[in-house]
Amino acid sequence: MNPLTKEQVEELDRLDKAATKGPWVWNLNLKSKDVSLEGQTGMRETVIDAQRWGMGGAKLRFLRDGLMVGCDQLAKAHEGREHHKHWCADIDHPDAQIITALRNAAPSLLAMARAYLAEIRFHQDEITLLESELRNLRDASWVTQMAVSSQRDYHLSRLAALQGEVTTIREVVG
């Protein structure tokens, strides 16, 4: 799956801003045989519910301007299929559109998330390796410092001995 294009991300952003604010939760009441999708911002606000439609069906209703509006009032022809509007229409509502847009974008979003997670794992492995190398360098640095310190002490003691000999020679030659 290809990553989302800039235009697709902009469209998802537009739909997100137009849709009822989340988070959303399904509310299924088995006793009253009622189902709705509700927003949880402050008071619960019904985003989508279902209403009896004819003898054997139901229609979804969407929140618009504080009222629940049936999907039949929100019908819009699919682009290029205007002649089928009466039996195959889209729902012209931001909440319906974001549901389908996010579902359609899910494979790309998941592919991008997997790629980002793989990149994070790669960088975490790099960090672990670099931390190990840093510890090794610190250990080597300590060993080097000890060797330099030991050599310095040797040279200082040798210098002190030579200075002592020079003093003795001066006294003898004196």
Let me know if residue 13 belongs to a domain.
yes
pLDDT in tens, 33-79: 777 888 776 667 888 888 888 887 888 899 898 898 988 888 888 78
Q: What's the pTM value of the predicted model, to 2 decimals?
A: 0.58
pLDDT value of residue 35:
77
pLDDT value of residue 18:
87
Let me know if residue 124 belongs to a domain.
no
How crowded is residue 38: how many other Cβ atoms within 10 Å of its Cβ?
19
Let me know if residue 142 belongs to a domain.
no
Number of domains in the chain: 1
pLDDT value of residue 1:
57
Let me know if residue 54 belongs to a domain.
yes
Let me know if residue 59 belongs to a domain.
yes
Let me know if residue 22 belongs to a domain.
yes
pLDDT value of residue 158:
79
> How buried is residue 125: exposed, middle or buried, by Cβ count under 10 Å (0-12/13-18/19+)?
exposed
Let me know if residue 125 belongs to a domain.
no
- pLDDT per residue as tens, the chain (174 positions): 567 788 888 888 888 888 888 778 777 777 777 778 887 766 678 888 888 888 878 888 998 988 989 888 888 887 887 887 777 778 889 998 888 888 888 878 888 888 888 888 888 888 888 888 888 888 877 777 777 778 887 778 878 888 888 888 877 775
In angstroms, the Cα distances linking 38 to 49, 80, 127 are 9, 33, 44
pLDDT value of residue 60:
87
What's the first-to-final CA gap in the chain, in angstroms?
94
Domain coverage including residue 79: 6-115
What are residue 36's DSSP bridge partners? 27, 49
Let me know if residue 34 belongs to a domain.
yes
CA-to-CA distance for 26 and 39, rounded, in angstroms?
9
Q: What percent of the chain has pLDDT over 90?
A: 3
Amino acid identity at 57: G
Decide: helix, strand or coil at residue 80.
coil
